[in-house]
Amino acid sequence: MTSAETAFLQGRGCKILPTYNGTSNTPGSVQGGFAEGQNDAGAAADAAQALGIPAGIAIYADIEGAWAVTSDWIRGWATAITARNFVSGLYGDCTPGSTFEQAFCAAQAVEPTAATSFLWSMQPEPGPQCRAAAAAPAYGPARPGCGGSVVLWQYTEDCWEDTLGVNAGIDMDLAMDAAVAVMW
């Protein structure tokens, strides 16, 4: 995202949900340990600061559903991103029993900072898929069995097509007031 894009959006009253998509399903990232979590958080914070994102805004780490995230990585992310004065956010599959849920629960059991992370749940995806505004489903994201603040829910993805018939890939999300309060 560029500063011109952020100015355009914010000039029209839009909130921006900073999401760090520099993570990967590798030992050098989410499959790694505490240091790898800190490294990803540092890169996310550097990018946020370069855009002018102020302190107190949530930055969400993209952890896709099939990825093998570790509890140590989550601990490293949460402690490093909050040390840089941002709010720790985690996008993942919060379904009880999922790899993400197990890693998050283990992390929050030993790291108070991980327990304060805002969660953005990608499950479930009820049908029919592409419904917005008043037609959106009632807020019902999957939640970790150990608790946690699930403040966002991606209830579907890959909605709408553009004029050329190519899928535009728009995801549909619902946000709680707590999530909106820490958007940029």
Tell me whether residue 171 is in a domain: yes
Tell me whether residue 55 is in a domain: yes
Domain count, the chain: 1
CATH number, domain of 64, equals 3.20.20.80
First-to-last C-alpha distance (Å) of the chain? 13
Tell me whether residue 184 is in a domain: no
- For position 157, what pLDDT does the model report? 85
- For position 167, what pLDDT does the model report? 59
State the pairing for strand pair 149-161/19-20: unpaired
Residues of the chain with pLDDT under 70: 128, 161-168
Domain of residue 89 covers 16-175
- For position 168, what pLDDT does the model report? 64
Burial class (CB in 10 A: 0-12, 13-18, 19+), 40: buried
State the pairing for strand pair 167-175/149-161: antiparallel
- For position 161, what pLDDT does the model report? 59
- For position 25, what pLDDT does the model report? 98
Tell me whether residue 48 is in a domain: yes
Q: Is the pTM of this model over 0.85?
A: yes
- For position 169, what pLDDT does the model report? 74
Tell me whether residue 180 is in a domain: no
Tell me whether residue 111 is in a domain: yes
Give me 155's structure tokens: 């209830």
- For position 134, what pLDDT does the model report? 85
- For position 162, what pLDDT does the model report? 58
